[in-house]
Amino acid sequence: DSGVTQTPKHLITATGQRVTLRCSPRSGDLSVYWYQQSLDQGLQFLIQYYNGEERAKGNILERFSAQQFPDLHSELNLSSLELGDSALYFCASTRGGSGANVLTFGAGSRLTVL
């Protein structure tokens, strides 16, 4: 157990729908990162939050949004879902907001869009 908790583990939904993925970071970690792993792809950085504020943005679609709450958990909202959004979504956390810290990953949420 890495200490990073992601729910749900699996999610099946239809095109056009909206889903919310949730992440609780490791105790004491202030930064949360979201990554997407599509089939046969490496992990693609989506977005980072540090202590409630957006810190960095990667290749995140406009249909996707995220936030980090005062208790430091984070949610990734995916809307108007398309077949191509089917992927593993990983959350990771670190203590700080920058520097060469090691990311601790959760087990991921597998999203299937039918």
Any contact of residue 60 with other proteins (CB under 8 A)?
no
Strands (E), 15-83: 19-24, 31-37, 44-50, 53-57, 64-68, 74-78
Residue count, binding to other proteins (CB under 8 A):
30
Choices 14-22, 53-61, 62-70, 77-85; region in contact with other proteins by CB under 8 A: 53-61
CB-based contacts of 73, cutoff 8 Å, min separation 6: 22, 23, 24, 25, 32
In the complex, least distance from residue 15 CB atom to other proteins, rounded to whole angstroms: 26
Largest Cα–Cα separation, the chain:
39
Q: Which residues, numbered 65-84, are part of the site for other proteins (CB under 8 A)?
A: none
**Contacts to other proteins by CB under 8 A:** 2, 4, 31, 33, 35, 40-45, 48, 55-56, 58, 90, 92, 94, 97-108
